[in-house]
Structure 1
């Protein structure tokens, strides 16, 4: 299930105006505070970004927190979703906006993979593949995360993760292997 939140270009910003529209996939997660309200507000923030033409969002799912050591049943559970948006923002500019949205919703970066009010990850940006220290695309752990693949597949049954393959096949492989 998905819902469309915005249609039509949103304002301008200092970027190339001739940049083509690109589909970007953003994973959303929250395990502190009013998780549902935070995710709803974050999706509205995404829809208001300049040079964003459309935002589709999956119905959120619940998942166990994943820490560097693995799943943590003692931590508060996450509410996760995926948003697909059409944008003319450069990937680095989009990432900066994602960080600003996180900060606006109280995100503090105190520990790696710690509990958080909001987490926004740029999962993919068209078919771009990058290993830059500033931005790795696609997201290096997206293919290993059921909480990313399930909502993504719900709003795009034909989705593909660049360099990794079809999302449905990745999910099937993940479930057969018993990973998160």
Structure 2
């Protein structure tokens, strides 16, 4: 049975806007997966990091992949976009974060669901609220109101 999953997309190296748009299309081509909703693009300042502003978005997926299989596909797409991980929160060509996968609650070395920092980031909450308002509370939005972000 398919699950509804949410993936945050971000990039701040190279042509970040084109990379985010391409990632949306690539996610729609994953096995047993389709994109059911796409947020607008947003520009945000890096959080706990340096480098240029990020371009961000969130997509909703209907997927027959289990959480770990979906994570492996996300990491494959990141690698294909030239993602390197020289240090924590380094600037990146593509970042794909699995935010939620159905009602799954997981805590493994590879994957935590729901995403542990989901509620701390305006660049996740605003686009998520745009496509799935039931996933975000007004209190969560108020807690990130001081973070610089603009809808493009």
Specify the alignment match of 1:134 in structure 2: 110
- CA RMSD, 1 decimal: 1.5
Gaps of 5+ in 2: none
The structure that has the greater radius of gyration is 1
Query: TM-score normalized by structure 1?
Result: 0.77
How far has the Cα of 1:141 moved from its partner? 0.5
Compare relative contact order (CA 8 Å, sep 6+) and give the higher one, 1 or 2: 2
Specify the alignment match of 1:59 in structure 2: 40
47, 62, 80: which one aligns with 1:104: 80
Greater than 4 Å deviation, 4+ residue runs: none
Contact 1:153–1:168 (Cα < 8 Å) also in 2? no
Cα separation, 1, equivalents of 2:31 and 2:11: 24
**Deviations 1:26-47, CA, capped at 9 Å, x for gaps:** 0000000001110111111100
Query: TM-score normalized by structure 2?
Result: 0.91
Specify the alignment match of 1:40 in structure 2: 21
Contact 1:144–1:179 (Cα < 8 Å) also in 2? no
Contact 1:123–1:139 (Cα < 8 Å) also in 2? yes
